[in-house]
């Protein structure tokens, strides 16, 4: 097996130097377009949210040290059973797909990344492969008009012009072909039997996964990205080969020729972009990448979660975009179907900032030196955008020195639209910021520099 790809539920990411560009021109074009979207609305949601613990991971005893830390109200096996059976009480009657989509649009998001199925195997869509799903009769929510949560979200997000990235877990701990009951408790997150000794079970599992992927990519309209989690399911780890290339090429040859695939941490031709998790690379990357980071401290809903401020989100987005990446910002819905208000407040502050400065974020590319002390750079055509991070009490130096190797022909403050005097000297551009009014400035100030 290769080096550990996941620790405490957090994925590392594939080394950029090993990146393999997609072969298909249609995928290449779609990937370039996708990387211009910059900001994704990521969501982890499932019946287990009622327990306010990690999603799926507490079911894996091999990850018990950290994942079962919230299992304090009953013995471990009782808590696990209650997690498995949370579908029987899941009834998020306040869920409104249109409200979520409208919020995402208002806050400047350009695509949705939703967990259709996490490692616990519970499907948030109307699959025909299992009854462990949101539309099954034993789930109280199945009578709701939008019981097929995935279908409702895709409909409403597309109506507002947002793209769709489909999160899908390759491991499925509920499937009897992955954690097979006849072999007892699964000791780790991996398959609990020897695939070489029981190839017929693994064949059934592969068929099960392929059928679920067919459903998602044929019954739910255009899918921009197939985002595959569970990087330990890979051929070089216990022979867990789900024949990904076979099903991807089948889908691309029929309904989705443009389909971007992200086989996280596995490398090769089906990891079309790499995915740092809860972190931002130290330097700009020259390959497509997207980091997923929660607004709070957790990806799944926790009753006691604490959330980043709007200012922190703006600064995070600037660091990610200046280094060439996309930011998938995760918000975990409550069990009742509403979104945590403190998190929503921060997202709306991010959206207010983007309405002023989005021109320097969306469809931009990297610009050396990418970032320096308190300043981040992006570029679009012959325009460079310099963003200066602001403290809680916003202020700018009277002279702002940009150590960037470009020749400026003009400069303006993006927030006010007013021209800014400048001079170029010794490989730097010095902006006269003394006349920029700070009333109304917040989180980061943006300057647009037109190049010669």
| pLDDT tens-digit readout, 71-104 | 999 999 999 999 999 999 999 999 999 999 999 9
Confidence of residue 133 (pLDDT cuts 50, 70, 90): very high
Question: In whole angstroms, what is the distance from residue 452 CA to residue 406 CA?
Answer: 8
> Quick one: which of 338, 328, 336, 236 has its CA closest to 4?
236
The two three-digit tokens of residue 122, written as one number: 């519970």
The two three-digit tokens of residue 313, written as one number: 């989100």
Average pLDDT of the chain to the nearest whole number: 96
Question: In whole angstroms, what is the distance from residue 370 CA to residue 385 CA?
Answer: 10
Report the SS3 class of residue 264: coil
- Kindly report, residue by residue over 185-197, the tens digit of the pLDDT: 999 999 999 999 9
Question: In whole angstroms, what is the distance from residue 412 CA to residue 379 CA?
Answer: 15
- Please compute Rg for the chain using Cα positions: 23
For range 347-354, the mean pLDDT: 98
* Inter-residue contact 284 to 320 (CB < 8 Å): no
- Kindly report, residue by residue over 41-63, the tens digit of the pLDDT: 999 999 999 999 999 999 999 99
For range 20-42, the mean pLDDT: 98
Confidence of residue 427 (pLDDT cuts 50, 70, 90): confident
For range 216-220, the mean pLDDT: 98
Distances (CA, A) of 382 to 118, 156, 322, 417, 423: 43, 36, 16, 18, 18
Burial (CB count within 10 angstroms: exposed 0-12, middle 13-18, buried 19+), residue 207: middle
Residue 399, beta-bridge partner list: 432
Instruction: Give me the pLDDT at residue 2, please.
Output: 41
Residue 372, beta-bridge partner list: 375
Pairing mode of beta strands 375-380, 383-389: antiparallel
Pairing mode of beta strands 163-169, 225-229: parallel
For range 405-432, the mean pLDDT: 94
Task: Give residues with Cβ within 8 angstroms of 147, minimum separation 6.
Answer: 126, 134, 135, 139, 141
* Inter-residue contact 186 to 128 (CB < 8 Å): no
Say yes or no to pLDDT of 276 above 90. yes
- Kindly report, residue by residue over 380-404, the tens digit of the pLDDT: 999 999 999 999 999 999 999 999 8
* Inter-residue contact 231 to 11 (CB < 8 Å): yes
Stretch (H or E) spanning 225: strand 225-229
Instruction: Give me the pLDDT at residue 3, please.
Output: 43
> Quick one: which of 109, 141, 123 has its CA closest to 219?
123
For range 316-341, the mean pLDDT: 98
The two three-digit tokens of residue 330, written as one number: 């995760």
Instruction: Give me the pLDDT at residue 7, please.
Output: 66
Cα-Cα-Cα-Cα torsion 178, 179, 182, 187, nearest 10 degrees, comes to 130
**DSSP code of 123?**
B
* Inter-residue contact 193 to 185 (CB < 8 Å): no
Burial (CB count within 10 angstroms: exposed 0-12, middle 13-18, buried 19+), residue 161: exposed
Instruction: Give me the pLDDT at residue 184, please.
Output: 96
Instruction: Give me the pLDDT at residue 8, please.
Output: 63
Domains of the chain as residue ranges with CATH: 6-360 (3.20.20.80), 371-451 (2.60.40.1180)
Confidence of residue 11 (pLDDT cuts 50, 70, 90): low
- Kindly report, residue by residue over 175-184, the tens digit of the pLDDT: 999 999 999 9
For range 260-282, the mean pLDDT: 97
> Quick one: which of 258, 251, 282, 256 has its CA closest to 272?
258
The two three-digit tokens of residue 48, written as one number: 């287990």
Say yes or no to pLDDT of 359 above 90. yes
């Amino acid at each position: 097996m290769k080096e550990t790809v996941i620790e405490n539920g957090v994925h590392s990411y594939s080394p950029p130097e090993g990146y393999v560009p997609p072969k298909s021109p249609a995928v290449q074009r779609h990937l370039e377009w996708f990387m211009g979207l910059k900001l994704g609305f990521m969501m982890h949601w499932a019946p287990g949210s009622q327990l306010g613990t990690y999603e799926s991971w507490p079911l894996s005893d091999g990850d018990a040290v950290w994942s079962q830390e919230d299992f304090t109200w009953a013995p471990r096996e009782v808590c696990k059973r209650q997690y498995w059976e949370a579908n029987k009480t899941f009834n998020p009657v306040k869920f409104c797909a249109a409200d979520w989509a409208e919020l995402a649009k208002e806050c400047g998001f350009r695509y949705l990344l939703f967990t259709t199925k996490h490692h616990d195997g519970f499907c948030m869509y109307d699959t025909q492969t299992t009854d462990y799903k949101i539309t099954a009769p034993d789930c109280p929510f199945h009578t709701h008009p939008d019981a097929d949560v995935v279908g409702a979200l895709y409909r409403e997000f597309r109506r507002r012009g947002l793209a769709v990235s489909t999160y899908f877990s390759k491991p499925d701990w509920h499937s009897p072909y992955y954690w097979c009951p006849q072999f007892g408790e699964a000791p780790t997150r991996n398959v609990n039997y020897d695939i070489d000794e029981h190839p017929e079970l693994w064949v059934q599992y592969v068929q099960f996964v392929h059928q679920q992927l067919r459903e998602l990519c044929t019954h739910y309209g255009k899918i921009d990205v197939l985002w595959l989690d569970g990087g330990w399911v890979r051929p070089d780890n216990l022979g867990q080969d789900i024949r990904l290339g076979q099903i991807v090429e089948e889908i691309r040859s029929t309904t989705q020729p443009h389909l971007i695939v992200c086989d996280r941490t596995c490398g090769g031709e089906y990891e079309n972009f790499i995915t740092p998790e809860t972190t931002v690379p130290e330097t700009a990357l020259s390959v497509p990448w997207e980091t997923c980071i929660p607004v709070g401290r957790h990806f799944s809903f926790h009753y006691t979660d604490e959330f980043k401020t709007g200012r922190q989100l703006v600064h995070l987005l600037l660091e990610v975009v200046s280094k060439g990446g996309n930011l998938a910002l995760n918000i975990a819905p409550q069990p009742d179907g509403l979104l945590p208000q403190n998190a929503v407040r921060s997202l709306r502050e991010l959206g207010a900032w983007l309405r002023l400065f989005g021109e320097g974020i969306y469809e931009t590319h990297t610009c050396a030196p990418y970032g320096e002390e308190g300043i981040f750079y992006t570029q679009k055509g012959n325009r460079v955008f310099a963003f200066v991070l602001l403290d809680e009490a916003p202020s700018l130096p009277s002279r702002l020195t940009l150590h960037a190797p470009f020749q400026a022909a003009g400069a303006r403050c993006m927030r006010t639209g007013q021209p800014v005097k400048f001079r170029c000297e010794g490989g730097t551009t010095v902006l006269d910021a003394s006349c920029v009014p700070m009333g109304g400035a917040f989180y980061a100030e943006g300057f647009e520099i037109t190049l010669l």
